[in-house]
């Protein structure tokens, strides 16, 4: 049996397809029980696996993690997100570091937000 990692780091990159204001991240929980069975808080018909029929009945809330300041984004910009999930504590801690890069390659400030 595979052990569950205590601290997990991931990196995601998003390409902006619509201009506007970026205020934060919407987080949903997904637990892969095995190769076929998934539990998820994602409420959509696209949820896959055994959790699909239960997706709309999940007691897990989807969490909106708001940035301390809004980012104005334009088409072609990118947002990179470094996420860290620290499960080695009584209440898990989730940290997100976001960096906005405009379409010309000019990198903006890094924004860091932590939630439990």
Which segment of 15-19, 27-31, 40-44 scores lowest on mean pLDDT?
A: 40-44
Name the band, by pLDDT with cuts 50, 70 and 90, for residue 59: low
Assigned fold of 7-115? 2.70.160
Q: What is residue 43's predicted lDDT score, i.e. its pLDDT?
A: 61
Q: What is the C-alpha R_g of the chain?
A: 16
* Cα gap 53→10, rounded to integer Å: 28
Burial 84-115 (b: 16+ CB within 10 A, else e): eebeeeeeeebebebbbbeeeeeeeeebeeee
* Cα gap 99→106, rounded to integer Å: 11
Predicted confidence (pLDDT) at residue 115 exceeds the cutoff of 70 = yes
Q: What is residue 47's predicted lDDT score, i.e. its pLDDT?
A: 46
Name the band, by pLDDT with cuts 50, 70 and 90, for residue 9: very high
């Amino acid at each position: 049996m595979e052990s569950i990692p205590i601290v997990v780091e991931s990196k995601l990159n998003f390409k902006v397809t619509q201009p506007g204001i970026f205020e934060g991240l919407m987080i949903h929980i997904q637990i892969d029980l095995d190769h076929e069975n998934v539990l998820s808080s994602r409420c959509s018909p696209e949820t896959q696996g055994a959790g699909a029929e239960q997706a709309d009945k999940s007691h897990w809330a989807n969490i909106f993690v708001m940035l301390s300041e809004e980012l104005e984004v334009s088409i072609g910009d990118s947002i990179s997100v470094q996420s860290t999930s620290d499960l080695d504590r009584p209440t898990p801690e989730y940290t997100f570091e976001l960096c906005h890069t405009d379409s010309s390659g000019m990198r903006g400030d890094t924004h860091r937000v932590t939630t439990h």
